[in-house]
């Protein structure tokens, strides 16, 4: 069965409906103090007794009667007559009314001398100075911090009533396999329930993950009914789209009232909310980034309404590094990496899409394009919600361009210097434009190792810019074959669905043209199969394949000369040039590049002509 | 034995020595993914397989050969011939090269129609689009976020190697009793180890709390030796001061080298660091706020140096509401409450002192007065580290003045409206000055319920200011006695060590004067004992004591008229006037105030003369 969305509900309207329909259920549980960090108090906490209980000494020294110390002076020291040695925290004996610190005394001839009289009450901690019995320690609705734990325990409390929300999470889908299983093609590891559990538990919810339910409407219905009975809120993971195997809507519609299906939000559009016996049941999309958005923008919003603490999110202002398109009427959430380049904070967008989970992993924040905006222009100041500590923004090195294992590994090693390398995927042109606009620290550029490629694709767009080119690794590319290479079969050469790089394509095209071999028709290859393909020489040799070299591609970092001496960039360059990094590249079958190219490139004042 | 501190070490120097002496020990452990949130990766994580593994459909629809859809137009729809119904996530059969979304088709006469040709590759998720096998997922040194969990699981990883630091915590002190025990006067509940555990566990350290060790040097020595053998770092809680029962220094000095004892820092001065077999042993002060400062500024600093993640701390700029004194050469840390008053962020200091744990509980941040400063002037912009989510600053209502159970309860109830009432302790004069400088939302003022008291202590300092006085509760005060009240004994009247309020003192003085009873000499009362004292009428009557009323004190909120309509203040006023709140006051023996006083006070243009 195929069905369409109901009308898409605007995000703000969806949240209003949700909050109006589901007032806080008011659940609470008692937890021992050690487990209470991050939880929210369900009721006020009052001190069981006063602290201190009675007057005690504030410092180590001597308890005295202040009246008897009158007249002590620098020039006329006095010996103590009635006194008692007292330690910090000890009860002041009733006969005394002041404490003299041991540092302000000395012993001589078995007597204790002072040079200054004591004021009544000095160096005494009064009973109740910290708190009095019955006084409020924490109000209700307070999120407990680590240091609160010590205070609450000090005031005589060992367990606290905290707000509790029981969340049931039901994964559905016949294609799902449990974490730890190697999926077959077309299968998906069921990880959304794990992620929802991690995220909502962090807010103090008590999550229960149910077993995977296959795509059968009656089994989904049974599972939902069971979970609704046992929880305050239920998440049904996936099956909320409009495909022939999407039964979530059907299943919950039979059990309760659907409040909305489809929010005008991206990612996360296929979300569903139903009211089952007064309890909310969310149908969540299956794409992980869509699911994250629904968890963060919708489900967490309800839990905050119910009194749980929102996950801490720091915010920062940044300029948008490249234009973001967005549909009017849709709230969009875009993962970005924020870094400070030349004194300006820039937010560089990562690829969007519900399935590109790595974009969120690589990002250190996200921005919200509100429904009333049709995109945001490059350079505009935007508010970014950070997903990393805000202190790390200053230590973030933003690299725009091609993803490459050599650069990923460079980032991995850069962490040792305290800097975080963020790689934002972009075409060569995107990387060159980022360099030109000075919105990134480095560009990652993978090109055939020829001067013309660099002239055509890089330098002509950056006239007059002082550039440092840092070749990281070169890869010999060529045509590999499972059998002897036969010119007849080369004519049927199929470029794999995803060639390793654009450079491979360029090199192949050049080689085919040079050899006079016609390029196969785009459909022809489908029938011929992929027994001949372009790959790295190391790979072909390791597999014992025939191999015809066609050239080198090289992976480079390109940096503007003026930022090369900044601390993070300098660390990046040092790491890239280190023997350890070059040795590592060899272990992954990459040839470290370097030598003459590894020099500042001369500034170029004019773009060289193409095909010169 | 009494000893003095070694020379105090400046904080910056102490941290440098510490880092130089103790390089990262590099410990790591494998944890299941569900327990990995907040931990820091000890090694990079690479994808086990590509995601997607093969080309799959991005949407529900029809897999087609793009070449066969050429020519489809709005005006000239086409029927599909070769196609396969496909759902989101399903493997694209090898014969097809594009997917048409179900929304872009319709069925008629058993055939599927389209209006637009398909481009090769459209609506297909390419193999490796999210990540390719062997690609870096997380670098080493990355703090794992909740949404990373889903990604890591998706890419085939079930457990991760994370950095691990074993911390042993040894509480020492013969006066300590375990949490859950009612302490006798002079005993202290051992809560610092609980707090250290909560704080350092939050950074990902593995804490082990040892049993309380009494103040006996050889037993402390044994405990330290055991803990050093079992951990990477040891905290010895208390006994680091210079009193006759402070054996921590002596104990560790016999086992290793003392690197410093005493840091020029407040609170937290009596901290000690020793090197035992290359492992750091910290001697921590016993005062809870001192211990917190050492944990946060010193111990956590070492753990960050060792690669753990710092606790997330948001920062904000604020103006200092009142002058802070500070000694040159000392790094001082002061708890503050930050709130936005009339558009300006103000940071109001709480009382300092290692023992005033409630100051930290009440605060939402702290500020650092660096060693090179001698205090900070009121009005200066300071950087505040927040201990509450930064979003709560805008919802913080700052009240300066007398602590009073009625106001604490008001704060407790205000949380329901989403606002947080922060009470910063100050004298009546301090509260009046805060009102005058407009640095607080409300002042909490407890005064005898007489016009002259208000004129003398409040209005004369606020000429021309439009004030709203909100009486919360009044208390009848009087002289109670365990026996019949006897004028002879009244002459020996002893005011309890801590009179309930300054108002009680004022009322008592006035009554004694009126009755012609001489005020007892300050020392005379010590001998006489406290059989006659000032207390609330309700208290005396409940205990069946003789009682002579001397007057009323009332607890009031005073608010500048111009802020009274701000949302948080309006909520505060509504809560204070609510029937529920007034009913609550009666349950705690307070008489709700109200009526004629509960009106905006007229603006006053001149200070009334004293004693008028």
Name which of A158, A352, A361 to mutate to probe chain B: the one with the most chain B Cβ atoms within 10 A of its Cβ. Answer: A361
Chain B residues in contact with A183 (beta carbon < 8 A)? 49, 53
The pLDDT of residue B480 is: 78
Nearest CA in chain B to A194: B150
Chain B residues in contact with A49 (beta carbon < 8 A)? 182-183
Nearest CA in chain A to B44: A412
The pLDDT of residue A136 is: 94
Contact across the interface for A292 and B150, Cβ inside 8 Å: yes
Are B161 and A387 within 8 A, CB to CB? no
Confidence of residue A512 (pLDDT cuts 50, 70, 90): confident
Domain boundaries, chain A: 11-26+165-305, 28-51+130-163, 56-125, 442-566+581-612
Rounded to a whole number of angstroms, the distance from the CA of A464 to the nearest CA of chain B is 35
Listing DSSP states for B538-604 in one string gives: HHHHHTT-EEEEEEEEEEEEEEEGGGTTSHHHHHHHHHHHSHHHHHHHHHTT-EE--GGGSSEEPP-
Nearest CA in chain A to B244: A87
Chain B residues in contact with A184 (beta carbon < 8 A)? 53
Question: Which residues does A332 contact at the CB level (< 8 Å), separation at least 6?
Answer: A265, A266, A324, A326, A352, A368, A369
Which residues, in sequence order, are bridge partners of residue A188? A176
Rounded to a whole number of angstroms, the distance from the CA of A465 to the nearest CA of chain B is 32
3-state SS, one letter per residue, for A474-542: EEEEEEEECCCCCHHHHCCCCCCCCCCCHHHHHHHHHHHHHHCCCCCCCCHHHHHCCCEEEEEHHHHHH
Q: At B421, which helix (H) or strand (E)?
A: strand B420-425
Closest C-alpha to B281, from B307, B300, B258: B258
Helix axes B405-414, B567-577, angle to 10 degrees: 120
**What mean pLDDT do residues A64-81 have?**
90
Please state which architecture CATH assigns to domain A11-26+165-305: 3-Layer(aba) Sandwich (3.40)
Query: Which among A134, A154, A498 is the nearest to B191, CB-wise?
Result: A154
The pLDDT of residue A537 is: 84
Helix axes B579-587, B567-577, angle to 10 degrees: 50
The pLDDT of residue A588 is: 79
The pLDDT of residue A329 is: 94
Chain A residues in contact with B175 (beta carbon < 8 A)? 89-90
Chain B residues in contact with A103 (beta carbon < 8 A)? 4, 242
**What mean pLDDT do residues A279-298 have?**
96
The pLDDT of residue B510 is: 77
Count of CB pairs separated by less than 8 Å, A with B: 308
Are A87 and A49 within 8 A, CB to CB? no
- Can you give the pTM of this predicted structure? 0.88
Name which of A69, A70, A85, A89 to mutate to probe chain B: the one with the most chain B Cβ atoms within 10 A of its Cβ. Answer: A89
DSSP conformational letter for A25 = -
The pLDDT of residue A610 is: 37
**Residue B393 falls in which region: left (phi positive, over 0), alpha (psi -120 to 50) or beta:** alpha
Rounded to a whole number of angstroms, the distance from the CA of A607 to the nearest CA of chain B is 34
Nearest CA in chain A to B182: A156
Nearest CA in chain B to A245: B87
Nearest CA in chain B to A141: B415
Nearest CA in chain B to A407: B136
The pLDDT of residue A4 is: 54
Question: pLDDT under 70 in chain B at which residues?
Answer: 1-6, 242-245, 482-502, 516-532, 594-612
Indicate the burial class of B348 (C-beta count within 10 angstroms; 0-12, 13-18, 19 or more).
buried
Contact across the interface for A150 and B288, Cβ inside 8 Å: yes
Are A469 and A432 within 8 A, CB to CB? no
Indicate the burial class of B320 (C-beta count within 10 angstroms; 0-12, 13-18, 19 or more).
buried
How far is the C-alpha of A440 from the C-alpha of A558, rounded, in Å?
Answer: 10
How far is the C-alpha of A434 from the C-alpha of A445, rounded, in Å?
Answer: 12
> With pLDDT > 90 as the criterion, what percentage of chain A qualifies?
65
The pLDDT of residue A423 is: 94
Are A43 and A36 within 8 A, CB to CB? no
Are B440 and B318 within 8 A, CB to CB? no
Question: Which residues does B491 contact at the CB level (< 8 Å), separation at least 6?
Answer: B517, B518, B520
Chain A residues in contact with B194 (beta carbon < 8 A)? 33-34, 149-150, 153
The pLDDT of residue B4 is: 54
The pLDDT of residue B455 is: 92
User: What tens digit of pLDDT does each residue of A226-242 get?
Assistant: 999 999 999 999 877 76
Are A431 and A401 within 8 A, CB to CB? yes
The pLDDT of residue A606 is: 35
What is the per-residue burial (b if ≥16 Cβ within 10 Å, else e) of B430-452? bbbbbbeebbbbbbbbbbbbbee
- CA A272 to chain CA centroid, Å, is 26
**What mean pLDDT do residues A100-118 have?**
91
User: What tens digit of pLDDT does each residue of A547-582 get?
Assistant: 888 889 899 999 999 888 889 999 999 999 999 999
Task: Give the three-state DSSP class for A474.
Answer: strand
Nearest CA in chain A to B43: A412
How far is the C-alpha of A265 from the C-alpha of A329, rounded, in Å?
Answer: 8
Evaluate if residue A520 carries a pLDDT over 60. no
User: Strand A111-114 to strand A78-79: parallel, antiparallel, or no bridges (unpaired)?
Assistant: antiparallel
Please state which architecture CATH assigns to domain A28-51+130-163: Alpha-Beta Complex (3.90)
N-term to C-term CA, chain A? 60
Lowest average pLDDT, out of A277-281, A511-515, B126-130, goes to A511-515
Contact across the interface for A522 and B120, Cβ inside 8 Å: yes
CATH code of the region B56-125:
2.170.190.11
**What mean pLDDT do residues A191-204 have?**
96
How far is the C-alpha of A178 from the C-alpha of A182, rounded, in Å?
Answer: 9
Chain A residues in contact with B171 (beta carbon < 8 A)? none
Chain A residues in contact with B291 (beta carbon < 8 A)? 150
The pLDDT of residue A94 is: 85
The pLDDT of residue B295 is: 98
Chain A residues in contact with B185 (beta carbon < 8 A)? 52-54, 56, 91
CB atoms within 10 A of CB B524: 13
Query: Which among B53, B94, B189 is the nearest to A153, CB-wise?
Result: B189
Chain A residues in contact with B241 (beta carbon < 8 A)? 60, 88
Rounded to a whole number of angstroms, the distance from the CA of A173 to the nearest CA of chain B is 11
Closest C-alpha to B300, from B287, B312, B316: B312
Evaluate if residue A6 carries a pLDDT over 60. no
Chain B residues in contact with A269 (beta carbon < 8 A)? none
Contact across the interface for A56 and B315, Cβ inside 8 Å: no
Contact across the interface for A315 and B60, Cβ inside 8 Å: no
Are B182 and B188 within 8 A, CB to CB? no
ipTM of the complex: 0.88
Query: Which among A148, A310, A403 is the nearest to B361, CB-wise?
Result: A148
Nearest CA in chain A to B285: A88
Evaluate if residue A604 carries a pLDDT over 50. no
Confidence of residue A494 (pLDDT cuts 50, 70, 90): very low
Query: Which among A34, A58, A198 is the nearest to B37, CB-wise?
Result: A198
Are A69 and A123 within 8 A, CB to CB? no
């Amino acid at each position: 069965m195929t069905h369409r969305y109901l009308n898409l509900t605007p995000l703000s309207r969806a949240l209003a409906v949700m909050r109006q329909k589901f007032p806080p259920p008011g659940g609470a549980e008692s937890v021992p103090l050690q487990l209470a960090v991050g939880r929210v108090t369900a009721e006020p906490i009052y001190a069981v007794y006063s602290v201190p209980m009675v007057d005690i000494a504030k410092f180590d020294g001597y308890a005295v009667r202040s009246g008897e110390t009158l007249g002590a002076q620098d020039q006329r020291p006095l010996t103590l007559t009635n006194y008692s040695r007292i330690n910090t925290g000890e009860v002041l004996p009733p006969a005394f009314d002041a404490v003299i610190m041991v540092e302000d005394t000395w012993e001589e001839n078995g007597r204790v001398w002072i040079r200054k009289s004591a004021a009544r009450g000095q160096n005494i901690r009064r009973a109740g100075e910290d708190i009095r019995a019955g006084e409020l320690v924490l109000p209700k609705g307070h999120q407990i911090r680590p240091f609160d734990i010590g205070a609450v325990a000090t005031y005589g409390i060992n367990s606290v009533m905290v707000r509790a929300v029981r969340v049931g999470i039901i994964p559905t889908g016949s294609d799902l396999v449990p974490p730890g299983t190697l999926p077959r093609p077309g299968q998906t590891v069921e990880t959304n329930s794990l992620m929802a559990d991690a995220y909502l538990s962090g807010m103090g919810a008590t999550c229960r993950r149910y077993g995977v339910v296959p795509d059968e409407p009656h089994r989904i219905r049974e599972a939902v009914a069971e979970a609704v009975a046992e929880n305050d809120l239920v998440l049904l993971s996936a099956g909320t789209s409009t495909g022939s195997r999407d039964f979530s809507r059907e299943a919950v519609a039979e059990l309760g009232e659907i409040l909305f299906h489809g929010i005008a939000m991206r990612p996360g559009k296929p979300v569903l909310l139903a009211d089952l016996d007064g309890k909310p049941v969310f149908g969540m999309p299956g794409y992980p980034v869509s699911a994250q958005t629904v968890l963060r923008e919708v489900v967490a919003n309800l839990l905050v309404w119910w009194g749980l603490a929102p996950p801490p999110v720091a915010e920062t202002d940044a300029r948008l590094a490249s234009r973001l398109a967005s549909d009017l009427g849709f709230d969009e959430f875009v993962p970005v990496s924020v870094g400070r380049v030349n004194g300006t904070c820039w937010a560089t967008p990562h690829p969007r899409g519900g399935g590109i989970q790595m974009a969120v992993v690589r990002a250190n924040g996200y921005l919200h394009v509100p429904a009333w905006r049709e995109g945001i222009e490059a350079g505009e100041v935007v508010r970014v919600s950070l997903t990393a500590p805000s202190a790390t923004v200053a230590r973030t090195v933003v690299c725009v361009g091609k993803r490459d294992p050599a650069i990923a590994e460079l980032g991995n090693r850069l962490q040792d210097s305290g800097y975080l390398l963020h790689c934002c995927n972009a075409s060569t042109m995107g990387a060159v434009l980022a360099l030109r606009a000075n919105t990134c620290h480095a560009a990652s550029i993978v090109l055939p190792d020829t001067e013309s490629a660099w002239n055509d694709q890089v330098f002509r767009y950056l006239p007059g810019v002082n550039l440092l080119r840092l070749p990281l690794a070169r890869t010999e590319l060529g045509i590999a074959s499972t059998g002897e290479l036969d010119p007849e079969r080369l004519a049927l050469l199929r470029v794999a669905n995803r060639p390793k790089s654009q450079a491979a394509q360029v090199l192949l095209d050049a080689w085919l043209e040079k050899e006079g071999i016609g390029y196969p028709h785009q459909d022809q290859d489908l029938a011929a199969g992929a027994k001949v393909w372009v790959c790295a020489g190391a790979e072909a040799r390791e597999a014992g394949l025939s191999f015809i070299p066609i050239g080198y591609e090289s992976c480079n970092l390109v940096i503007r000369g003026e930022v090369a001496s900044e601390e993070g960039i300098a660390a990046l360059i040092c790491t890239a040039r280190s023997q350890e990094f070059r040795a590592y590249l060899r272990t992954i079958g990459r040839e470290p590049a370097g030598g003459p190219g590894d020099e500042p490139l001369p500034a170029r004042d004019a773009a060289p002509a193409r095909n010169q």
